């Protein structure tokens, strides 16, 4: 089975869309996550992600190779996603600030339904961000 990140940034990086696994590279060149009798002979492991990302290294067809493929997915794909989310706080704050001004304008223009749905979206974002900082405050970062 694959690996899913469940740290503080999980919601922000859509971690369920980024399940990593070690795919087997078959002699024909295809990559497969399915083990069956035909696939027992394989060249090695390649890091893969649910989103389509594929590692560049062919790791040996051993348990160590499988672990190395998982590590490659972690270092080369997952960590950059988390680092990007860590750097994106100010960009998000600017966007959310702009959305709040839009809410004020919508209320001024009596577009209450539209203002309410924009506020709902912002509250959802704030709750997500609150979960992230709460987990960070609890030292759950890795
Ligand atoms: Zn991915």
59: left (phi over 0), alpha (psi -120 to 50) or beta: beta
At 41 the pLDDT is 86
Predicted TM-score (pTM) of this structure: 0.84
Instruction: Give per-10-residue mean pLDDT for the chain (142 aa).
Output: 91 94 93 78 95 96 96 97 96 97 98 98 96 92 65
65 touches 43 (CB < 8 A): no
- Distance from the alpha carbon of residue 9 to the mean position of ligand 1, in angstroms: 14
User: Distance from the CA of 115 to the center of ligand 1, in angstroms?
Assistant: 34
Bridge partners, residue 3, by sequence: 20
Q: What is the pLDDT of residue 142?
A: 57
Ligand 1 center to 76 CA (angstroms):
10
48 alpha carbon – ligand 1 mean position (Å): 8
Burial 89-116 (b: 16+ CB within 10 A, else e): eeeeeeeeeeeeeebeebeeeeeeeebe
What pLDDT is stored for residue 59 in this prediction?
A: 97
């Amino acid at each position: 089975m694959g690996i899913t990140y469940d740290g503080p940034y999980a919601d922000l990086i859509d971690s369920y869309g980024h399940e990593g696994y070690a795919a087997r590279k078959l002699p024909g060149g295809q990559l497969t996550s399915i083990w069956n009798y035909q696939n027992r002979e394989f060249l090695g492991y390649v890091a893969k992600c649910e989103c389509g990302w594929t590692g560049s290294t062919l790791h040996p067809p051993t348990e160590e190779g499988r672990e190395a493929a998982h590590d490659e997915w972690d270092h080369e794909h997952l960590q950059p996603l988390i680092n990007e989310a860590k750097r994106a706080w100010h960009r998000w704050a600017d966007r959310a600030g702009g959305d709040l001004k839009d809410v004020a304008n919508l209320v001024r223009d009596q577009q209450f339904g539209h203002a309410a749905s924009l506020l709902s979206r912002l509250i959802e974002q704030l709750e997500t961000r609150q979960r992230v900082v709460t987990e960070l405050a609890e030292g759950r970062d890795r």
